[in-house]
A and B are shown apart, each in its own frame.
Chain A
Amino acid sequence: MKKKQGTIILVALSFLLVLGFSTQTLAGETYKMGLSLAITGPTSDAGNPYSKGAEDYVRYVNDEKLLGDDKLVCFIRDDAYKTENTKRNLEDFLDEEIVFYLNYSTGSTMALKQDFEEEKIPVLPASFHAGNLIDSNYIFLPIASYSSQAVGLAEYVAANHKGSGKPKVALFLHPSAFGRGPLGDVKKAIDVGLGIELVEVVEHGKDLDNTAMLKRLKSKGVQYVISQTVQPPVATMLKGAQSLGMIASTYGEAGKITFLGCHYAGGPDLVGLAGSAAENYYWTTSYKLMTAKGPGTEAQFALAKRYGRDDKLANSPNYTNGIMVVQVAVEAMRRAKTKGKKITRANLYEEMLAMNGYNAYYPLTTVGPVTFSKTDREGVDTLQLYVAKGGVFYGVGLPFVSEYVKKIK
Chain B
Amino acid sequence: MSENRWLATGNFFTSYKAEQRIFLTHVDRLIFVCFLALLFAWPLVFQVSNKYMLVIDSILIAIIAVYGLNLLTGFAGLISIGHAAFVGVGAYSVATFARILGGDHMLLTHYWPLMIIIAGCVGAVFGAIVGLPSLRLRHLYLVIATLSFQMIFQWTINFSRFYDQGQSIAIGRVFWFTGKVVRKQHYFFWYYVILVFAVILGFTVRNLLRTKQGRSLVAVRDNDRAADAMGIHPGFTKVYAFALSGFYAGVAGALHAYLWRGVGFESFTLHHSISYLAMAIVGGLGTLVGSIVGPVAILMLDLQVENLAEFVGHYLTAIGDVATALRPLSFGLVIVLFLMFEPRGIANWWRIIRTYFKLWPFRY
Contact = CB atoms under 8 A, between A and B. Distances in A.
Interface stretch (B25-33, B87-95, B260-268): B260-268
B155 to A, nearest CB: 11
B168 A107 contact: yes
Contacts of B326: 40
Given A48-B317, A80-B309, A107-B168, A39 B323 contact: yes
B324 to A, nearest CB: 4
Interface in B213-266: 260-262, 264, 266
Interface string B15-58: 00000000000000000000000000000000001110011001
Given A40-B320, A40-B324, A44-B320, A114 B309 contact: no
Interface residues of A, number: 35
A39 B50 CA distance: 23
A110 B49 contact: no
B327 interface: yes
A87 B168 CA distance: 12
The main secondary structure of chain B at its interface with chain A is helix
Contacts of A114: 170, 261-262
Nearest to B50: A91
Nearest to B312: A40
A82 B314 contact: no
Interface in A34-69: 39-41, 44, 48, 51-52
Given A39-B314, A40-B309, A78-B310, A92 B264 contact: no
Nearest to B314: A39
B96 interface: no
B168 A80 contact: no
A228 interface: no
Contacts of A85: 306
Interface string A79-117: 010111101110110110000000000010011011100
B54 A83 contact: no
A82 B187 CA distance: 20
Q: Which 6 A-B pairs have the closest CB atoms?
A: A111-B168, A78-B310, A91-B50, A39-B313, A40-B313, A92-B51
Interface of A: 39-41, 44, 48, 51-52, 76-78, 80, 82-85, 87-89, 91-92, 94-95, 107, 110-111, 113-115, 118-119, 131, 175-177, 180
15 contacts: A40-B324, A44-B313, A44-B323, A77-B310, A80-B309, A80-B327, A83-B168, A83-B264, A85-B306, A91-B50, A107-B266, A110-B167, A111-B262, A111-B264, A177-B165
